[in-house]
Amino acid sequence: MKFKNNEHEVNYHSFIAKDDVISGDLGRESFFYLIALNTDTARHINKLYDFNNHSIKSEEGPKEQFQTDSSKKITLLAFNLFNGYSDENNDMTPLSLFSIGNDMEYLLEAMKIRLL
């Protein structure tokens, strides 16, 4: 698994441990990989994921005040890889999600975690 930097790796392992993810749970592994990638989403993980119920906060998460254009795209892709989530605005198109720029290789890495 390729990490962007030390913070990305530390956050990923922290989230995996906090949720007690079973090895091979590819939906959660790819979700936490992406959420850990972005400083904003990592900092606000509890606004995106309910660790008590082991579920995403799909209704409110993408609309949270902290969200930037990039963090929202990462959130939407993470939600989609977690459970097939799609929003009402159809913001899940590959073109819209992959227009983040510098983090493209990590978005593809998350997809490899989930799909390969």
Count of C-beta atoms within a 10 Å radius of residue 90 = 8
CA 74 to chain CA centroid, Å, is 6
Q: How many other C-beta atoms are found inside a 10 Å radius of the C-beta of residue 97? A: 16
* Mean pLDDT on 98-108: 77
CB atoms within 10 A of CB 23: 7
Given a cut of 80, is residue 29 above it in pLDDT?
yes
Q: Judge contact between 86 and 80, C-beta under 8 A.
A: yes
Structural domain contains residue 57: yes
How many domains, the chain?
Answer: 1
User: Is 107 a domain residue?
Assistant: yes
pTM of the model: 0.85
Report yes or no on 19 lying in a domain. yes
What burial class does residue 91 get, using C-beta atoms within 10 Å of its C-beta: 0-12 exposed, 13-18 middle, 19+ buried?
middle
Structural domain including 86 reads 6-115
Q: pLDDT digits over 43-79, tens only?
A: 999 999 999 999 999 889 999 999 998 899 899 989 9
For residue 96, pLDDT beyond 80: no
